[in-house]
Amino acid sequence: MSGTGSSLSVQLTASSTQTSSFRASNPTDVDSLPPLVELVHPKLRRPLTDSMKIKSLTLIQKLCWAAVLDSDSDVLVRSETGSGKTLAYALPTLHRLLMECDQTPISREVGTLIIIMCPTRELVLQVTETVCTLVRCAQFITVGGIHGGENRHKEKARLRKGLPILVTTPGRLLDHLKTTASFNVANAQTVIMDEADRLLDMGFEKALREIMELLEKKCRHASSLKRILVSATITDGVERLSHFALRKNIARIGETQDTFSVPTTLKQHYVVVPVKHRLSVLLTFLRSQLDAGAHKIIVFVLTADSAEFLYLLASRLQSPFHSKSYEGKVVTRSRRAPMSTKKMIETANGHLNNDAATDKVITFEEVSDNETEGDVSLDSTAASRRAFLDANIFTLHGNMSQVDRAAVFHAFKYDTGKSRSGKSVLFCTDVAARGLDMPKIDWIVHYDPPTDPKIYVHRIGRTARIGNSGDSILFLAPDELGYAAYLTHFIHSQMQQGDNKEAMAMSERKYEIFLFYLTKLDPKSNHMWMQSTAALGRAISRLVMQREVDRGGDAKDSLYRVALFAYQSYLRAYAGLPREIKSLFFFVSLHLGHVAQSFGIDKSPSEMQRELKVYIREDRVLARDNRKGTVTNSHDGEGHKKKRQRVELDHEDQYHSMLTQKQRKLTRDWAEKRRKESTKIRPLQFSEFDA
C-alpha cells in the first residue's frame, strides 16, 4: 500500500481549518514524578485504583501535572485523541482543590469554583461521570452537568444551591450567566475549554468571547483565574482563541509538535467493494467479526438518513439461512441429561418399594431431537438466533433528541441492551468521532469514507485507546482506490522522524473472503459464495420492499421510505464532497442502479425519483407548516377568527426526511425562546430545589 501512496503524487491542499505550527514548552522531567498513589490527594487514590483501574499516568497526563498546578500561568494542551486528555486536566485540578479544602473546607454555598466547557451534550455527560467518579470519596464536593435540552428551572435551582464543579456547554453557560441572577461565579478559580478545536467548528467562538468577558466582570479574583485550553489539533482558530481566552504567560503542553499520531496497536485495513455488494459485504463482515469474538463495533456513515436505515435494517433482518420449520415459534425442549439403564429400571419399579406412585412413563427408546416437551412458547434467545446479527443494534446522530442520544450512548458504553450476547453495533455519523470515550472498541468501520483526513484520524481514535489494540477498515469502490493512498500519504506526512511508517500502512482485504463466510451459514451453498450472497441480497430486498413481515417495525414505519431518503442523502453527500478530495471520487461514474441495490431497493432510478418527489413535497409542506404555522378558520357564530397552530410531527407515526426533522428542531427552539422572552405570568412550577 505504501508503494501505491508513493506512486500517486498527492498534494494536500490547505483548508479553512489549516493546522498552525505548535511548539511545546520545555518539557518537565516526568521521570521525577513520584508514583501515582503518592502523587495524588488521598481522596483520589481509591477512585483511580479501584473504580477506574488506573495504575500509572500516560505521558500527556504527566506533562500536564506541574503546569496545571501552577497558578501563575495558563495552559494550552495538545495531545492525540485517546491519550487521556480528560484526566490530564481533571486530576491536577481536583488535586489542587482538595488540597485547599484540607485547609479551608467548602460547601455548596461557595458557588461555582471550576467550570468545564464541552462542545456536545454527550461529552458533558461523559466528563461529568468521570469527575463524579474521581470525587466520590469527597462527598462535600458537588458536580453538576447542564446542557441544552434539559429543564431550565431545575438547572436554575441547582445553580442556586451551588455547584462547585460545573460541566456545561458554552451556549447553556452563556444563557445562565446572562439570565440567572443566583448563579454565583464570584469565587471561580479555573475555566477549562475541552475540545477547543471542535468548539470553534461548531460556531462557539462568539459565545466563548462573551463568556470570558462576563467572567472577567463577575469573578472576584479575575486576574488569578486559571484558564486551560485543551485540543486534539492546534488550528489557526485555536491559536486565535488562545489569544483572548488565555493570558500572556502561557504554558504550551504537548507530547510532540502538532502531528497526528496513530496508535501503534491499531491495524488499518481497506476493502475494495463493488457498489452493488456494499450492503451485503457490510452485514457479512459484521456477522463474521461478531462470531469471531468482537464485542463492540462502530460503523461510521456520512448522513443521518443512512444511519437510521442501517439501524432499522440490521435490527429487523432475519437470517435467510435459518430453518423455517417453526417460523414465528420457538419450541421449548427439555435438556435433561441422558438416564442410565439402571436408573430407568429403578424409577420404573418404584411402586414395588411402596413409594409414591409415579406418573412418569419410562421407555427405553432413544428420544429424538424432533420430539418436544412443554408448550410452544416464544423465546427471546432463540429469536435472537434467527436474527442475522445477534447483537444490540444502536444508532447515534445529531438529529436525535437529547434523551435518545444520552440513552444510546449509555447503553452502548455499558452494554445494557436487550441482547444476551453482550455484543453491540453502533451506526453513527461523525457526531461520535470526537471526544467520546467508548472503551474497548474492537472495530471501526468506515462504511462511508470520511470527508477529511483529520476526521479519519479522529474516527480511528475511538479504538486502540491508551494501549489497547483495535482495527479499522475502510470501504472503497473500485474507482476510489486513490483515497486509500491519499490517507496513507497524509498520515505519513504528519508522523515524526523515526516512526515506523510501514507499521502504519493500510493493508488490503478482499471482499470475497468476507462473502465466503456466508457459505458456513448456508448449508445449501455448496461452498459457492455467490449463491449465498444472492440469498442474502434477496432477503434484504424482501425486507426493504415490504414483501415479507417487517418484524420489529410498524405498518406505518416503512423501511422502503427510509431507504429512499438514505439513497437520496447518500448521493447528495457524495456529490458535495470537499474540493480537496473531490478529484478522488467520481460522481458521474456512479451506477445509480447499483447504488439503489446497496440500499436494498430493486427499482429503477427513474421510479425512485418520482416517488422521492412525492415524499419530499409532503415533507416540505410539513417543514413549512412547522416554520410558519397553519392558519385555520373557526366559526363560532361571532365571526371568523384566525388561529395559528403549530404542527407537531409524530415520529412514531411515520419516518420523515432530515430536512423536516431539522425544521422541527428549529421550530421547537424558536418556541422555547419565545416562551422565555414572554412577559406573561407563568404557572407555578415546583423544582427539585423547592422540594
Check if the beta carbon of residue 61 is closer than 8 Å to that of residue 87.
Answer: yes
Assign 20 a pLDDT band (cuts: 50, 70, 90).
low
**Residue 556 confidence (pLDDT):** 42
Grid cell of 538 as nine digits: 434477496
- At the top level of CATH, the class of 266-323+385-552 is alpha beta
Exposed/middle/buried for residue 244 (C-beta within 10 Å: 0-12, 13-18, 19+): exposed
The SS3 assignment for 483 reads helix
- Measured distance CA(67)–CA(107) in Å, rounded: 27
> What letter would DSSP give residue 374?
S
**Residue 80 confidence (pLDDT):** 72
Check if the beta carbon of residue 185 is closer than 8 Å to that of residue 215.
Answer: yes
Cα→Cα distances 332→323, 371, 380, Å: 16, 10, 11
> What are residue 471's DSSP bridge partners?
267, 443
Exposed/middle/buried for residue 517 (C-beta within 10 Å: 0-12, 13-18, 19+): middle
Which residue did the predictor score with more confidence, 4 or 388? 388
Grid cell of 145 as nine digits: 452537568
Which residue did the predictor score with more confidence, 416 or 663? 416
- Measured distance CA(125)–CA(140) in Å, rounded: 21
Helices (H) and strands (E) in the chain, counts: 26, 18
The SS3 assignment for 395 reads strand
**Residue 326 confidence (pLDDT):** 40
Check if the beta carbon of residue 381 is closer than 8 Å to that of residue 421.
Answer: no
For the stretch 91-148, pLDDT in tens is 999 999 999 999 999 999 999 999 999 988 888 999 999 999 999 999 999 999 998 7
The fold of 20-254 is Rossmann fold (3.40.50)
**Residue 363 confidence (pLDDT):** 37
Check if the beta carbon of residue 214 is closer than 8 Å to that of residue 177.
Answer: yes
Assign 283 a pLDDT band (cuts: 50, 70, 90).
very high
Element (H, E) at 591: none
Which residue did the predictor score with more confidence, 336 or 452? 452
Grid cell of 164 as nine digits: 462547585
Cα→Cα distances 226→55, 70, 93, 113, 249, Å: 28, 9, 10, 11, 11
Q: Enumerate residues 6+ apart whose C-beta is below 8 A from 564.
A: 601, 608, 611, 612, 615
Nearest residue to 671 via CA among 621, 627, 619, 622: 627
Cα→Cα distances 178→154, 210, 216, 465, Å: 17, 10, 14, 39
pTM, to two decimals = 0.66
Assign 544 a pLDDT band (cuts: 50, 70, 90).
very high
Q: What does 150-196 look like in DSSP terms, one character per residue? A: S-HHHHHHHHHH--SEEEE-HHHHHHHHHH-TT---TT--EEEE-SH
Grid cell of 514 as nine digits: 468476507
Grid cell of 242 as nine digits: 488562545
Cα 390–chain centre separation? 20
Mean pLDDT of the chain: 77
For residue 158, pLDDT beyond 60? yes
**Residue 233 confidence (pLDDT):** 80
Nearest residue to 315 via CA among 395, 399, 414, 378: 395
- Measured distance CA(68)–CA(439) in Å, rounded: 26
> What are residue 299's DSSP bridge partners?
427, 445
Q: Examine domains 20-254 and 266-323+385-552 and report if their fold is the same.
A: yes
Assign 496 a pLDDT band (cuts: 50, 70, 90).
low
For residue 1, pLDDT beyond 90? no
| Domains in the chain: boundaries | 20-254, 266-323+385-552, 605-676
Q: What does 225-253 look like in DSSP terms, one character per residue? A: -EEEEEESS-BHHHHHHHHHHS-SSEEEE
Q: What is the dihedral of CA 366, 368, 369, 375, to 10 degrees?
A: -110
- Measured distance CA(632)–CA(314) in Å, rounded: 42
Question: What's the whole-number mean pLDDT along residues 588-604?
Answer: 92
Going 582 to 584 to 589 to 595, the CA torsion angle's sign is negative
- Measured distance CA(10)–CA(484) in Å, rounded: 11
Q: What does 437-477 look like in DSSP terms, one character per residue? A: ------EEEESS--SSHHHHHHHHTTSS-TT--EEEEEEE-
- Measured distance CA(164)–CA(170) in Å, rounded: 17
Which residue did the predictor score with more confidence, 438 or 132? 132
For residue 57, pLDDT beyond 80? yes
